Amino acid sequence: MSNDKKIKKKLLRYTVFMIIVGTVLIVSAVCIVYTSKKAENNSHVAYVNAILGEYKLNFSNKIESDLSTLVSVADMIEQGYISKDDIIKDVFTYFPKNSEFEKIGYYSIEAENKIITLDGSNIKYEFSNSPEKEKQTIRSAWQGNQTVSEVYTEDGKDKICYAVPVYEDGKVDGAITANIYLDKFVDIINANTLDGIKINIAWVNKSGDIIEYSEANILQGKRADIIKKAWSNKESFQFTSPVVKKIDIVLEKDTYPLYSIEIGHNGWSIVYIDSEGEVISPVYSAIFILVVIFMLLILFCFLVMLYTFKYIKNDKKTILSLADYDQLTKVYNTGEFINQVEQLYDNSADYYSVILNFRHFQYINNIFGRNIADKILIRTADILKSNLATDELVCRYRSDEFCMLLKSKDKKQLKNRILNIMDNISGISAKLQNEYAIKLYCGVSFRKADKQKKLPIADMLNEAEFALKTIKQGYDNNIAFYDSSVKEKKIFQNEIESSMEQALRNNEFKLFLQPKKNLLNNEIIGAEALVRWIKPDGKMIFPDEFIPLFEANGFCASLDLYMVDKVCALQRKWLENGKKIIPISVNQSKILFYRKDYIKNLCNITQKYGIDNKYIVLEILEGLVADDIETLNHTIAILREKGFQISMDDFGSGYSSLNTFTSIALDEIKLDKVFLRSIGTEKEQKQKQMMENIISIAKSFGIRTVTEGVETQVQETFLKSISCDYGQGYLYSKPISIDEFEEKYIN
Ligand code: C2E
Ligand code: MG
Ligand code: MG
């Protein structure tokens, strides 16, 4: 899936998630608002009940305490503490001057009136002159009742009157009265509750008329109408608590919940019209804060969502380019390259994947600096891009590697195209004005059009990488095409290396022998030991396939001594069997010669089998001479001293020098088979002359000569004519197993 699709998918998932979260938040908000509204309603009603209860209490307390003041005066008159005759003088003793009463009085049933105003002036009133409401109250007291009058007006001022009976000898004798201005009750209406709250209430009489109301009220005009309407519907009042009743009054389409509580005197009530939401309970405010916080939270989430979407939308391009493109060179990265290949793939085309690598890019980095190195990469990417045809791709594969997917019908054409691209890239250095010649090499893999399958791009990249690795370091632009046999060889070599130790322990390495013939008397005077690896399944592997590997990995040192061991064991067997013993040549690899314990190990083997060292000929290669001639000579000298014979193998195959004769002490040289291969070619004469001279020089130094690769009688005749001592080759025998060798030459 492409990164674009991946991001779109992620965005979709993210959106769905946000929508779910948003919905959950909104639903819970609605639930919270609903339940809190309900709770708030309940708590509001309870709160109104409590406040009205408090107002009622204040009201009735006031009335009760006024009445009980009068009752105590009545008691004192009854008990003779205050004389009815001198009530005016005595009452001052019991009434403080700052009493709330306007005046108090005593009305005897015989209508003897004594009145005192609380400013101290003593005025006599006539019962008959009293306002009607006052008269009614006094009469009620004469009948033995403690009474509170309804509101009445006197001298332009609203007031009420209290009256309590005064007894003498168990019979009502008169009534003690007190008048109080309405203002004192207005104070109660306007007072704060214990919670410090003040609400707009009205004091209403039993007919629904307003006696007094608190200072401000938005409903001023409508209030009287609402109360009147409520009083005309008194049977519809509902109790919201044992004492508070409620009714919803609809007036001009608006609904006004009206709460009322009776004071307990004269059918008076305290009324509260809940229209302004002025009663805000503490629970309500807590719920309100909660709802506000919740709403803010939703808003915040919503804003975050909105911002994220906007951000993602704006930066989608950047994100996409970060995910899909190499930031330095602006070509695809490998991941996106592979995605694109899948999308572009046309199954009727032949495809090549090409991995391009710079030679010594680390050097460019170190010497010219990162900046220049980066510029080279950027320009390279530009060149590669400009060389693409439709439906071809390029990506930055690794730090200094680019990969291209190219289409071509013809391999040669493609090769030229790549070489041309590489030349263009080499030209960058001139543009950057430095002398360094940028060189590249590349590995290429190929897939023929395949109608059935998808393009196996991962395999193609592996193959191109493998091909790339087969190119040796050099100074040219090179191309290597993937060759499956090269890879198979590599796999084979890996197998060999992983199984060699085990093979040695299992005796899979077998000793084969190839005889050496004395050309003077035609006798077999020796043999060369040659190794064969015979696998458990019987498959035979020849030394050419593994010796170079073992030389490189050091295993040859073990193998060569193992072969010496096998040779000595064989010679010992021959001795035991009373057979003639012949010298056997063993090939010794270069690394052995520089091992400190080499000579000791070698001697240990010959001693173990009791074989005279002279029966062992050590074949060394010319290459040794080039390395460290002093160490070599020193080793050879000791070996020869110990009786071993030294033979120079493959003489003439490499850069042999006649100096060899003088610089190292040899017993034998083996002329390489290439000399004989030239017989029958135009070089024949010269090569023959060369062999003759080499042999003659060797003889002059007392060195024995052997020629390898004798395959024909003609070759043997020639060797005899130039006095070569020994011959070795298929003419006499191929390397053969011990059994075969013993049968042919020993028995
Ligand atoms: P080399 O020591 O020069 O051995 C001679 C090679 O020439 C042998 O190949 C032999 O089979 C081949 N040969 C002999 N006569 C003829 C002929 O008439 N015509 C042709 N065309 N070839 C002939 P082989 O056995 O495959 O060995 C190849 C090389 O492997 C040897 O070359 C030697 O360098 C190395 N080698 C073999 N065994 C050992 C070993 O035990 N240790 C080490 N270090 N190297 C070994
Ligand atoms: Mg040899
Ligand atoms: Mg040889």
pLDDT at 26: 78
Task: Give pLDDT tens digits for 171-187.
Answer: 898 888 888 988 888 88
Q: For residue 672, which ligand has an atom nearest its CA?
A: 3
Structure token digits, residue 719: 């060797």
CA-wise closest residue to 6 among 499, 378, 335:
335
Question: Which residue has the CA at smallest separation from atom 24 of ligand 1?
Answer: 543
Q: For residue 650, which ligand has an atom nearest its CA?
A: 3
- Model confidence at 565: pLDDT above 90: yes
Task: Give pLDDT tens digits for 684-705.
Answer: 899 999 999 999 999 999 999 9
CA-wise closest residue to 699 among 723, 675, 676:
723
CA 619–ligand 2 middle distance (angstroms): 6
Question: Is the beta carbon of 735 within 6 A of some atom in ligand 1?
Answer: yes
Residue type at 644 in one-letter notation: F
Q: Which atom of ligand 1 is nearest to the CA of 650?
A: 3
Close Cβ partners of 689 (under 8 Å, ≥ 6 residues apart): none
pLDDT at 368: 84
CA 528–ligand 1 middle distance (angstroms): 9
The CA distance from 329 to 583, in Å, is 69
The CA distance from 247 to 268, in Å, is 17
- Model confidence at 121: pLDDT above 70: no
Close Cβ partners of 732 (under 8 Å, ≥ 6 residues apart): 515, 517, 524, 710
CA-wise closest residue to 739 among 523, 559, 573, 543:
573
Least confident piece of the model among 4-13, 36-45, 82-91, 176-185: 82-91
The CA distance from 416 to 413, in Å, is 5
- Model confidence at 95: pLDDT above 70: no
Mean predicted confidence (pLDDT) in 54-78: 88
Question: Which residue has the CA at smallest separation from atom 12 of ligand 1?
Answer: 709
* Residues forming beta bridges with residue 269, ordered by sequence position: 204, 262
Question: Is the beta carbon of 537 within 6 A of some atom in ligand 1?
Answer: no
Q: Which atom of ligand 1 is nearest to the CA of 547?
A: 45
Answer yes or no: are the C-beta atoms of 725 and 670 closer than 8 Å.
no
Question: Which residue has the CA at smallest separation from atom 10 of ligand 1?
Answer: 735
- Model confidence at 273: pLDDT above 80: yes
Residue 384's pLDDT band (cuts 50, 70, 90): very high
Structure token digits, residue 169: 């000898």
The CA distance from 251 to 225, in Å, is 8
Helix (H, G, I), strand (E, B) or coil at 81: coil
Helix (H, G, I), strand (E, B) or coil at 233: coil
Question: Which residue has the CA at smallest separation from atom 27 of ligand 1?
Answer: 543
Residue type at 194 in one-letter notation: L
pLDDT at 163: 93
Among 77-91, 187-201, 674-688, 716-730, the range with the most confident prediction by mean pLDDT is: 716-730
CA 6–ligand 2 middle distance (angstroms): 65
CA 672–ligand 3 middle distance (angstroms): 6
Task: Give pLDDT tens digits for 653-679.
Answer: 876 677 788 888 999 999 999 999 988
pLDDT at 90: 62
pLDDT at 655: 66
Structure token digits, residue 343: 């999308």
Mutate to test the pocket of ligand 1, among 708, 716, 736 (most ligand atoms within 8 A of CB): 708
Question: Which residue has the CA at smallest separation from atom 23 of ligand 1?
Answer: 709
pTM: 0.52
pLDDT at 234: 85
Task: Give pLDDT tens digits for 307-357.
Answer: 877 777 767 666 667 788 999 999 999 999 999 988 887 778 899 999 999
Question: Mean pLDDT across the chain, nearest whole number?
Answer: 86
Question: Which residue has the CA at smallest separation from atom 41 of ligand 1?
Answer: 531
Structure token digits, residue 43: 């708590």
Residue 161's pLDDT band (cuts 50, 70, 90): very high
pLDDT at 739: 96
The CA distance from 323 to 309, in Å, is 19
Residue type at 368 in one-letter notation: F
Close Cβ partners of 116 (under 8 Å, ≥ 6 residues apart): 87, 88, 91, 92, 103, 104, 105, 122, 123
Close Cβ partners of 416 (under 8 Å, ≥ 6 residues apart): none
* CA separation, residue 633 to residues 111, 637, 641 (Å): 167, 6, 12
- Model confidence at 405: pLDDT above 70: yes
Mutate to test the pocket of ligand 1, among 500, 509, 587 (most ligand atoms within 8 A of CB): 587
Classify the C-alpha dihedral 128-130-136-139 as positive or negative.
negative
The CA distance from 564 to 572, in Å, is 12
Q: Which residue has the tokens 């008397």?
A: 521
Strands 122-123 and 152-154: unpaired
Task: Give pLDDT tens digits for 466-512.
Answer: 999 888 766 666 899 998 888 888 888 899 999 999 999 999 999 99
pLDDT at 225: 86
Tell the burial category of 514 from Cβ atoms under 10 Å away from its Cβ (0-12, 13-18, 19+).
Answer: buried
Task: Give pLDDT tens digits for 413-458.
Answer: 999 999 999 999 988 877 766 677 888 999 999 998 888 778 889 9
Q: For residue 590, which ligand has an atom nearest its CA?
A: 1
pLDDT at 723: 96
The CA distance from 390 to 574, in Å, is 77
CA 505–ligand 2 middle distance (angstroms): 24
